[in-house]
Amino acid sequence: MSCCDQPGLMPVETALERLMALADAAPIAGSESLPLSQADGRVLAEPLIAGLDLPPWPNSAMDGYALCLADWTGEPLTVSQRIQAGNAPQPLQPGTCARIFTGAPLPDGADTVEMQENVQVGDDGRVTFLEPLRVGQNVRPQGQETRTGDAVLPAGTRLGPIELGLAASLGAAQLLVRRRARVAVLSTGDELVEPGQPLGPGQIYNSNRRLLMTWLQRLGCEVVDAGILVDDLDKTREALASLGDVDLILSTGGVSVGEADFLGVALREAGELALWKLAIKPGKPLTCGQFRGVPVIGLPGNPASTLVTFGLLARPYLLRRMGVTRVEPLGFPMPAGFTWSKPGKRREYLRARLQDGRVVPYPNQSSGVLRSAAWAEGIAEVLENSTLAEGDSLRFIPLSEILG
Ligand code: AMP
Ligand code: MG
């Protein structure tokens, strides 16, 4: 990782591009085969190839009657067999129809299904078709969804309920997935105390550790709890040295050029360090470096800054290293429900809600206020050097797009 210090503020796009380049240079190697029950949240290491047609045979989309429309004269038909889902039908006797139910295989010789609501069954059991029929109606042809050999999911897909359901539909019992990323979470600051402990003078509870550990678990990472690191150079060196077997060290706090920037000092000594001053608010300073070959990302300590910089920068970086194809969140243009009259030098990410179809920011956007994000439904992007009038469009990124 080369030093990227530069004068001025780094645009968010540049930071993202650089992080992507770093990620591409350090993919997390290795894969394992897992049963579907253990594959939620993991990343597919190879394409999922269909081993069969879906559906495997033509079947009925309705409860009704199957017939061969090509041979039908328009007369009422007798019912020659009854076919339920799970049955293996006989070929259709010429000049008859078959009682058939949803999902049941179409008998050989039949090409059409009429729904039961559109027939009349006479006292003699013969079936009169009341509506005009069209060849192939209510039939799901073999291979309609998928053909044998189709690449149904590409490598790099993150597996969730839908993908796992799809894999199950193809009979896949195991999937080859990428190895989990091992990520260490380090919280720096003399002032930090874990919940459950009494607060001393000048102390605050550590919120970033829980925020990031929970988030990383959701991203499918193996999380190493590196605890709280006091603001001390020797302790910082020791802590970093003890984390040699992880794929990423993610720290919070101590990344500004303040006097307590021990992380920066330790990284400069034993590795590489880039301190990026990002054109982003909240969250200006971001450290990007490595310690004895282990990549380190240092996020700003204010919890709302941690949220925004992890969600918009570190998360895509990490997903990319995990082999995920789509790493950036979807955002949608939405009308502003507020005005923005003072253009800023930094791009602002407001914790905001949608009210009556408009973006409404939480009143207190201070970078220390995590409550803003708990209230919010998404992050609204106000571009640098721009103003907004009510109704002007801005990008709204739902929190659900970045939290998983
Ligand atoms: P720093 O980047 O270390 O100067 O921290 C910036 C602000 O974030 C300070 O007010 C810190 O007390 C606060 N902060 C740093 N780390 C955490 C944390 N893990 N949890 C909550 N607040 C923090
Ligand atoms: Mg600090």
Counting residues of the chain whose pLDDT is more than 90, the rounded percentage is 92
- pLDDT confidence of residue 2: 38
Q: Whose CA is nearest to atom 10 of ligand 1?
A: 302
Question: Which residue of 188, 204, 211, 284 sits with most ligand 1 atoms within 8 Å of its CB, as the best mutation to test the pocket?
Answer: 204
Domain ranges of the chain: 12-29+179-321, 33-53+145-178, 59-140, 332-403
pLDDT at 162 over 70: yes
CA distance 323 to 220: 12
Can the peptide bond before residue 55 be classed as cis, meaning omega within 30 degrees of 0? yes
What's the pTM value of the predicted model, to 2 decimals? 0.93
Q: What is the DSSP string of 149-202?
A: T-EEE-TTPBP-HHHHHHHHHTT--EEEEEPPPEEEEEEE-TTEE-TTSPP-TT
Comparing 128-137, 257-266, 295-304, which segment has the lowest mean pLDDT? Answer: 257-266
CB atoms within 10 A of CB 287: 21
Question: Which residue of 228, 262, 302 sits with most ligand 1 atoms within 8 Å of its CB, as the best mutation to test the pocket?
Answer: 302
pLDDT at 396 over 70: yes
The chain-wide mean pLDDT, for the chain, equals: 95
- Assign 280 a pLDDT band (cuts: 50, 70, 90): very high
Distance from the alpha carbon of residue 262 to the mean position of ligand 2, in angstroms: 9
- Assign 244 a pLDDT band (cuts: 50, 70, 90): very high
Distance from the alpha carbon of residue 390 to the mean position of ligand 2, in angstroms: 38
Which residues form the pocket of ligand 1, taking CB atoms under 6 Å from any ligand atom? Answer: 187, 189, 191-192, 204, 206-209, 252-256, 258, 300-303, 368
Atom from ligand 1 closest to the CA of residue 207? 20
CB within 8 Å of 224: residues ≥ 6 apart = 182, 183, 184, 185, 243, 246
Distance from the alpha carbon of residue 301 to the mean position of ligand 2, in angstroms: 7
Arithmetic mean of pLDDT, 153-168:
98
pLDDT digits (tens, 9 = 90+) for 314-357: 999 999 999 999 999 999 999 999 999 999 999 999 999 999 99
- Assign 4 a pLDDT band (cuts: 50, 70, 90): very low
- pLDDT confidence of residue 256: 64
pLDDT at 309 over 80: yes
Q: Which CATH superfamily is domain 33-53+145-178 in?
A: Molybdopterin biosynthesis moea protein, domain 2 (3.90.105.10)
- pLDDT confidence of residue 6: 46
Distance from the alpha carbon of residue 187 to the mean position of ligand 2, in angstroms: 9
CA distance 312 to 319: 11
Nearest one of 351, 397, 370 to 211, comparing CA atoms: 370
pLDDT digits (tens, 9 = 90+) for 52-83: 999 999 999 999 999 999 999 999 999 999 99
Which CATH number does the domain 12-29+179-321 belong to among 1.10.40.30, 3.40.50.720, 3.30.70.270, 3.40.980.10? 3.40.980.10
Contact between residue 351 and residue 361 where contact means Cβ atoms under 8 Å apart = yes
Contact between residue 129 and residue 114 where contact means Cβ atoms under 8 Å apart = yes
Q: For residue 300, which ligand has an atom nearest its CA?
A: 1
- pLDDT confidence of residue 254: 81
Q: Which CATH superfamily is domain 59-140 in?
A: Molybdopterin biosynthesis moea protein, domain 3. (2.170.190.11)
- pLDDT confidence of residue 265: 86
State phi, psi for 385 to the nearest 5 degrees.
55, 35
- pLDDT confidence of residue 5: 43
* CATH number for the segment(s) 332-403: 2.40.340.10
